[in-house]
Amino acid sequence: MKVLLAPEARNYVSSEARYLKARSPQAARQFADSLKQLKEHLSQFPHIGRVSDEIPVPGVLCFVMGAYLVDYEIRPDIIVILGIRHGQQRPPGMPLDDDFDFEGP
């Protein structure tokens, strides 16, 4: 099955690759290799991801790729990688508490 990156995922990959390359060319190569390997795995085993409580959208699965979380959807003829984010980033749509206080329980 063919694996495609949605525009948002493609933009993230490009941005992250530039960021990593500026700091560690080896890390940038590893990121690119990991993504290539993930696409190959997804094409053969599309259901290797898990349903994520962070992304409450029916049909969206999440796969952990090292320090990154990859959200994807299985469609009839293709798999679409919808988004990629570092594991330390907030999930999409999660509100930011902008008053920066640390309220106790």
Query: pLDDT digits over 71-86, tens only?
Result: 999 999 999 999 999 8
17 inside domain: yes
92 inside domain: no
pTM of the model: 0.80
97 inside domain: no
| CA-closest candidate to residue 81, choices 105, 53, 102, 55 | 55
Which CATH number fits the domain that encloses residue 37? 3.30.2310.20
90 pLDDT band, cuts 50/70/90, is low
Give me the long-range contacts of 94-100 (CB less than 8 A, separation at least 24): 94/54
How many domains is the chain built from? 1
- For 65, the domain range is 2-86
